[in-house]
Structure 1
Amino acid sequence: MHPHPILIVEDSDEDFEAIGWAMRRLGRHDPLERCQDGDEATERLLDRARPWPRLVLLDLNLPGTDGREVLALIRRDPYLRPLPVVVLSTSASDEDVNACYELGVNAYLIKPVNFEQFTEQLRVTLDFWLGLARLPDPPERA
Structure 2
Amino acid sequence: MEILLVEDNPGDVRLTREALKEAKIQNQLHVVEDGVAAMEFLYQKGPYVDAPRPHLILLDLNLPKKDGREVLQEIKQNPALKRIPVVVLTTSRDKKDILTSYDLHANCYVTKPVELDQFIQIAKSIDNFWLTTVSLPNE
- TM-score, with structure 1 as normaliser: 0.91
Give the structure 1 partner of residue 95 of structure 2: 94
CA distance in 1, matches of 2:88, 2:40: 19
1:24 aligns with 2:21: yes
Q: Deviations over 1:102-137 (max 9, x none)?
A: 000000000011111111011111110000010001
Query: 1:49 deviation in Å?
Result: 5.2
1:108 aligns with 2:109: yes
Which runs of no fewer than 5 residues in structure 1 stay unpaired?
none
Pick from 37, 42, 66: which aligns with 1:40?
Answer: 37
Give the structure 2 partner of residue 70 of structure 1: 71
Q: Deviations over 1:6-53 (max 9, x none)?
A: 000000111011111111111222101011000100111112753210
- What root-mean-square deviation, in Å, do the aligned CA atoms of Structure 1 and Structure 2 show? 1.1
Q: Which amino acid aligns with 2:115?
A: N
Q: Which amino acid aligns with 2:51?
A: R
Q: Is the 8 A contact 2:39 2:71 kept in 1?
A: yes
Aligned length: 135
CA distance in 1, matches of 2:26, 2:16: 12
Q: Which runs of 4+ in 1 moved over 6 A?
A: none
Q: Which amino acid aligns with 2:36?
A: D
CA distance in 2, matches of 1:137, 1:24: 24
Q: Which amino acid aligns with 1:71?
A: L
CA distance in 2, matches of 1:26, 1:100: 26
CA distance in 2, matches of 1:23, 1:94: 27
